[in-house]
Amino acid sequence: MFRWLIGTIALSMVATGALAADPVEIHIGYLGNTGIKSTLSLVEQPADNDGIAGARLAIEDNNTTGKFLNQRFVLDEVKVKDSDDVAKVATDLAGRSDYIITDLPADALLKVADTLRDRGTVLLNAGAIDDRLREQDCRGNVIHVAPTRSMLADALGQYLVWKQWKRWLLVTGSHDQDKLYADALRRAATRFGAKIVQERTFEDTGGARRTDSGVTLIQRQMPVFTQQAPAYDVLVAADESEVFANYLPYRTWDPRPVAGSAGLVPTSWDAAHDQWGAVQIQNRFVKLNMRRMTALDMQAWTAARMIGEATSRTNSGDPKKVIAFLKGKDFSIAAFKGTRLTLRDWNLQLRQPILLADGRMVVSVSPQEGFLHQVSELDTLGVDRPETKCKLQ
């Protein structure tokens, strides 16, 4: 009896010691640029913590589950200036972080990916929407959470065609990223049976419109710019540079809706989204940050949650096991979009529905009804497997 009691006490002490062991720490880095991109609308100016705030919320969510598995998640935040060597900054961050969420331009992201490839560090791209990062310039150590331009354009194109608004007047800005978005919109028109009746270019002359005469100037300029167009159903604007698109609604010569970079906008997330439990995360985000959740916030949240989900499912802090699970067929993540999201194995792009929002409400969600696919209807958005130029390495 005495020996049994001693044995029980010993086992209890061992168990207590195991429970009291330090948790396994999983470090997730966040690498983004300093400064914010100015927008035409004063009410849409991004916050200094745009993106990072979403990752911070995800770390809280990861730790809610992690405490039951003796896991602790830590976010290591770094922002780079234009004058910084982004490869060196990323290397320093990789020394203490197992995974890195990035919000970087395409060229900087490729530089970081190539620098860290031999270390085995995996990047989760939360910001760059360039298709080339998933196609001819794809990398095996970069998982893409942000949607591509082609996914956004296809989501919009499906809805416009579903509405029978098949005649498009395409207006493109004069900057390179505007032209890339225009390319994606042309592809969507061809893919889904729309017709671009005419194309026009809005040249950025660098003039300031936030002046006392600004409204009068715009009210006179936009109707003239859009007059004498062939018959069209919708004006589609490609203006990632934030130069002109938001001045188009209600100012076109003909009374037509505006879509693309203004009016009806395709996006991965919107502050008005309230379906599939989204109100819960929207409210928690507002409570923590005293502002609304942006698309970049949600993309960063999803990236950090992907690591948390894979870590809990594998019950391992080993990055190799976690990444293998992420890239495997059993991985999926819930992200308040009505379906579980998975990775495309041919280019490591996260499949996801795309919201179509007008700034106050979510008008629709793509893929639209009737656009079918033999594997997943989500693969009707963006570059599909038979079209891909990606050769992962």
pLDDT by residue (tens digit) across 224-243?
999 999 999 999 999 999 99
Determine the pLDDT at residue 43. 87
The alpha carbon dihedral of 137, 142, 143, 145 has a sign of: negative
Q: Is the pLDDT of residue 322 over 80?
A: yes
Measured in Å, how far apart are the chain's first and last C-alpha atoms?
63
Q: Which of 27, 66, 57 is nearest to 280 (CA)?
A: 57
As a whole number of angstroms, the distance between CA 312 and CA 301 comes to 16
Determine the pLDDT at residue 214. 62
| The pair of three-digit structure tokens given for residue 284, joined into one six-digit string | 């928690």
Determine the pLDDT at residue 35. 80
Q: Which of 282, 210, 182 is nearest to 45 (CA)?
A: 210
User: CA dihedral defined by 389, 391, 392, 393, rounded to 10 degrees?
Assistant: -140
Q: Is the pLDDT of residue 2 over 50?
A: no
Amino acid at site 188: A
Query: What confidence tier does 38 reach under pLDDT thresholds 50, 70, 90?
Result: confident
| CB-CB contact of 181 with 202 (8 Å) | no
Across 25-51, b (16+ Cβ under 10 Å) vs e yields ebbbbbbbbeeeeeebeeeeebbebbb
Q: Which of 74, 75, 72, 63 is nearest to 31 (CA)?
A: 75
Mean pLDDT along residues 388-393:
92
Backbone angles phi, psi at 109, to 5 degrees: -65, -40
Determine the pLDDT at residue 12. 44
| CB-CB contact of 381 with 157 (8 Å) | no
pLDDT digits (tens, 9 = 90+) for 194-227: 999 999 999 998 765 555 556 767 888 999 999 9
Name all domains of the chain by residue range, CATH numbers in brackets.
23-147+270-355 (3.40.50.2300), 150-266 (3.40.50.2300)
Q: Which of 149, 145, 105 is nearest to 383 (CA)?
A: 149
Amino acid at site 153: A
pLDDT digits (tens, 9 = 90+) for 378-387: 999 999 999 9
Contacts 24+ apart (CB under 8 A), 371-380: 371/158, 371/192, 376/342, 376/351, 378/339, 378/351, 378/352, 378/353, 379/344, 379/351, 380/154, 380/158
SS3 sequence of 108-174: HHHHHHHHHHHHCCEEEECCCCCHHHCCCCCCCCEEECCCCHHHHHHHHHHHHHHCCCCEEEEEEEC
Give me the sheet containing 71-80, strands edge to edge.
Answer: 71-80, 24-33, 99-103, 122-125, 142-144
Which helix H or strand E contains 24, and what residues bound it? strand 24-33
Which helix H or strand E contains 365, and what residues bound it? strand 362-366
